[in-house]
Amino acid sequence: MKKEVGHNFLAKLGKKRLRPGGVAATNWLIGHAGLSSSSKVLEVACNMCTTSIQLAKQYQCQITGIDMDNRALDKARGNIKAAGLEGYIQVKQGNAMKLPFEDNSFDVVINEAMLTMLNQSAKEKAVAEYFRVLKPGGVLLTHDITFAKDNMADELAELRRTINVNVEPLPVSNWEGLFNGAGFKRVDHASGRMSLMSIKGMLRDEGLAGTVRIFRNAMKKENREQFKKMYSFFNTTGKDLNYIAVCSSKQ
């Protein structure tokens, strides 16, 4: 079986919502953003720009998206053009740990499902960059993986093998400490069951037609083994992994 990074594999199957808590967690973040048409927004690890497109349609704000993956950015440009939003969203290749922007440039920074993939040192560097480019009074919106149980070493090791990424999820208190340590003064969060690979979550995030398309593609011979491995893990061994959505305010 060819090993593919989990979110790239799901995107290949047709999944559009690639975040641990799906649309519910993303909407919680948006509800804490305080967005208007005058807002300047940075989406880090924008992938196909699903969230940016949602925000541009809803608020007509100016959004910059960055990602390290040029293939994802090509898809993003196609999605932006198809939505007729070229005047609101611009995308470019960029590194979260060395953002190509001036201090105090953005009202909102959004970063979904990326910090979990970094080690602690890299997490701290990225969050320090987000703090730097945010204006005073701005907010950082993040969406990651957490857990409440102790002794999760075996489950986390299996997660890494399942999605082929050396991820480092944190307990809630450690996520809060990460943002407080970077200088954010108010840190609010919501957490709950991951929707990424559950039937109920897929129906909510992708709709019936989208869910049927994903499963049809998943059952193709070249995809079946990896899909079964991921589906089994997230619905059995990994059921104690949760999403965490965090809103951190810069004073």
pLDDT tens by residue, 160-188: 999 999 999 999 999 999 999 999 999 99
Helices first, then strands: H and E counts in the chain: 9, 7
CA of 233: how far to CAs of 104, 198, 206, 226, in Å? 42, 11, 20, 11
pLDDT greater at residue 3 or residue 106: 106
pLDDT digits (tens, 9 = 90+) for 32-54: 999 999 999 999 999 889 899 99
pLDDT greater at residue 220 or residue 152: 220
* The CATH number of the domain covering residues in 6-242: 3.40.50.150
Residue 21 has which token pair? Answer: 């808590």
Q: Give 79-132 as a DSSP string.
A: HHHHHT-TTTEEEEE-BTTB-SS-TT-EEEEEEES-GGGS-HHHHHHHHHHHHH
Q: Using DSSP, state whether 160 is helix, strand or coil.
A: helix
pLDDT recorded at residue 45: 94
The domain spans of the chain are 6-242
pLDDT recorded at residue 58: 95
pLDDT recorded at residue 4: 87
Residue 1 has pLDDT above 60, yes or no: no
- Categorize the per-residue pLDDT at 2 as very low, low, confident or very high, splitting at 50, 70 and 90: low
Q: For residue 134, what are the contacts with CB-CB under 8 A and spacing of at least 6?
A: 104, 105, 106, 107, 108, 109, 140, 250
Q: Mean pLDDT of all residues in the chain?
A: 94
Residue 6 has pLDDT above 70, yes or no: yes
Q: Which of 3-12, 77-86, 93-102, 125-134 shows the lowest per-residue confidence on average (mean pLDDT)? A: 3-12
Q: Using DSSP, state whether 209 is helix, strand or coil.
A: helix
CB atoms within 10 A of CB 79: 19
d(CA 144, CA 203): 21
CB atoms within 10 A of CB 78: 12
Predicted TM-score (pTM) of the model is: 0.90
CA of 221: how far to CAs of 1, 10, 225, in Å? 10, 15, 8
Residue 91 has pLDDT above 80, yes or no: yes
pLDDT digits (tens, 9 = 90+) for 15-28: 988 889 999 999 99
Round to the nearest angstrom and report the end-to-end CA distance of the chain. 49
d(CA 139, CA 157): 32
d(CA 241, CA 237): 9
pLDDT digits (tens, 9 = 90+) for 98-151: 999 999 999 999 999 899 999 999 999 999 999 999 999 999 999 999 998 888
Asked if 190 and 245 count as a contact pair (C-beta separation under 8 A), the reply is yes
